[in-house]
Structure 1
Amino acid sequence: MTTILVTGATGALGRLAIDSLLARGVEGSDVVALVRDPAKATALAERGVELRVGDYDDPASLDAALVGVDRVLLISGSEVGQRVAQHQNVIDAATAAGVSLVAYTSIVRADSSPLGLAAEHKATEDALAASGLPTVLLRNSWYLENYTGQIPVQLEHGAVLGAAGEGRISAATRADFAAAAAAVVAEDGHAGQVYELGGDDSFTLGEYAAALSEQSGTPVAYRDLSVDDYAGALVDAGLPEGYAQVLASSDEGIRQGALLTESGDLSRLTGRPTTTLAEALKSALA
């Protein structure tokens, strides 16, 4: 019996990873969901998944939660600026528990990426290497939901805003990335691997806008802005200035190819083609 712990289990990616583990035939009793609030995870408990309370900022809770765990899917935290210390706490607890594998959700080419977001991922990868734990790096590109989640606003204004130029994006759905994560922690033979994960078919934001126009029947155009103007537009839309700058600078990275990967790793791990942009748009519009 191999016990698999999934961190961030009530988040979108964590829930989908657990769904994928159960769909693969892993028994619910062999899956541990690390949660901060068990009340938000009753649906998981009803499927036989064990809930353990733990917080990235509370090392003692992590030590207790990882007792008896064999493999850990470490889903990167959402608090930019605090993630290195938080991930280190999980790594320390995994080391103390003697786990046989940690799979970490990183970002495409974290070791050379120009993206500001990559720095914390690179630091976490370094911490995993220093720990000596058997590790798998799941270097994810962008979620398609980063774009399809904005469809109502895009249709309302007839525009997709960005600063990515003709940069191509190997986006895939969260469910695709979750299925790959489930595969590496459920199967043997992945320790030491670095997977550059992205959709089979990349697209530019101009191509995204054209596909949205086709699927929705509403004309939508891509408006390519400077990084500063795009950040300003995001602030005007209600985003905090710091987060707006992160997103705008990420588009500059996209322009440089930072989120393009043609490795084919994602479809190989899942055993199926990745969700196409057209399929994702149809689903979101429905």
Structure 2
Amino acid sequence: MYAVTGASGQLGRLVLDGLLETVEPDKIMALVRDPAKLAEIAQRGVIVRAFDYDAPETLAPALDGVERLLLISSNDVGRREVQHRAVIDAAVAAGVGFVAYTSILHADRNPLDLAVEHRATEAVIAHSGVTYALLRNGWYTENYTMSAKAEVAHGAVIGSAGEGRISAATRADYAAAAVAVLAGGIDASRTYELAGDDAFTLADYAATLAEVSGKPMNYVDMPEAALRAALEGMGLPAPWPAVLAETSAKTAQDVLFDDGHALSGLIGRPATPLIDAVKAALAG
């Protein structure tokens, strides 16, 4: 039995869709806080179970029968280490034989604040005795393109990344990698540094927006504090203005860059080019 946590999220749904292409529905378990969100998936024959990271006593029973588990990291920044530890303890108790975890690129040396909880989770997994795969995902291209229409409307992309290189890939790319690892029969512990094939700077991203939209675009580089204030002014809730501003500033140090091509090697095709992701965002 294959199981996916956070199965109603954007990445989780893509993973379920990918598994359904190669695995019988009754061999897939979708673990989600609110099973009602996956009623359509349940109708397709997938087993849907309630799974709340904050209710640790319920997790091991929910994992009964699971052999291979994908732990998609929580989005509750500041609580993720505790939540992930509860899932891993439950997996051990339930006899799960393999755990794949969606971590962050170069987690062992990544200076981003976001990497701290990922490093802690990786350590828990490594000491659990369970065979594992660390899927160290780079930045999602959608982290940029989700704002593409607004950026085109304003004629500017803002950030603090300078000339830092970003090896981003789409959620669909990372989901394909998770499916390949979860359903591919990998039975030895491994770490995958997963990133896009062709790195870009934020200036490159602005130029791609201009090329696709036909409108003039500029990249406006600013200090981290100014970017944080701008994001707060846009109404982003805490802690995201601080998190995103810190990430952008440290991007200048190439913390989101990788040229190992492990992602495309794992999924058997090139990662989605930036221009394709931009076209999809502007057309959507």
Q: TM-score category by the smaller chain? A: over 0.9
Structure-2 residue corresponding to 1:269: 266
Residue aligned with 2:127, SS: helix
Cα separation, partners in 2 of 1:190 and 1:205, compared to 1, 3 Å: farther
State whether structure 2 residue 237 is matched by structure 1 residue 237. no
User: Once the 2 structures are TM-superposed, how far is the Cα of residue 188 of structure 1 from its aligned partner?
Assistant: 1.6
Partner in structure 1 of residue 222 of structure 2: 225
Provide the residue aligned with 2:19 in structure 1.
21
Q: How much does 1:225 deviate? A: 0.5
Q: What is the TM-score normalised by the length of structure 1? A: 0.97
Match of 2:6 in 1: 8
Spell out, residue by residue over 1:211-263, the C-alpha distance to the aligned partner (whole angstroms, 9 max, x if none).
01000111111100100111111011111343211111101221111111111
Deviation digits for residues 141-175 of structure 1 (CA, Å, limit 9, x no counterpart): 11111111101210121110000000010100000
> Structure 1 CA distance, aligned partners of 2:250 and 2:28?
37
Between the aligned partners of 1:256 and 1:40, the Cα distance in structure 2 is: 40
Segments of structure 2 that go 5 or more residues without pairing to the other structure are none
Aligned to 2:208: 211
Q: For residue 34 of structure 2, what is the aligned residue in structure 1?
A: 37
Q: Secondary structure at the match of 1:131?
A: coil
Tell me the equivalent position of 1:183: 180
**244-253 vs 188-197, which moves further:** 188-197
User: In angstroms, what is the RMSD of aligned CA positions?
Assistant: 0.9
| 1:130-150 alpha-carbon deviations (Å, 9 max, x no partner) | 111111000001111111110
> For 1:274 and 1:107, how far apart are their aligned partners in 2?
17
Counterpart selection for 1:124 from 118, 121, 132: 121
Partners of 1:144 and 1:123 in 2: CA distance = 25
Distance in structure 1 (CA, Å) of the matches to 2:280 and 2:248: 25
Distance across 2 between alignment mates of 1:161 and 1:20: 34
Secondary structure at the aligned position of 1:139 is classed as: strand
**Structure 1 runs (4+) greater than 6 angstroms displaced:** none
Maintained 8 Å contact 1:72/1:185 = yes
2:25 touches 2:46 (CA, 8 Å); kept in 1?
yes
State the secondary structure of the residue aligned to 1:245: helix
The total of aligned residue pairs comes to 283
Q: Is the 8 A contact 2:149 2:281 kept in 1?
A: no
Q: Which runs of 5+ in 1 are unaligned?
A: none
Q: Which amino acid aligns with 2:275?
A: A
Identity fraction in percent: 54
2:143 pairs, out of 142, 146, 171, with 146
| Aligned pairs (5 A) from 1:77-88 | 77-88=74-85
CA contact (8 A) 2:198 2:273 kept: yes
Deviation at 1:190, TM superposition (A): 5.2
Q: Is the 8 A contact 1:136 1:190 kept in 2?
A: no
Equivalent residue, structure 1, for 2:163 = 166
SS at match of 1:250: helix
2:73–2:84: 8 Å Cα contact kept in structure 1? yes
The CA deviation at 1:68 is: 0.8
User: Given the alignment, which residue of 67, 79, 84 partners 2:64?
Assistant: 67
Structure 1 residue 60 displacement after superposition: 2.1
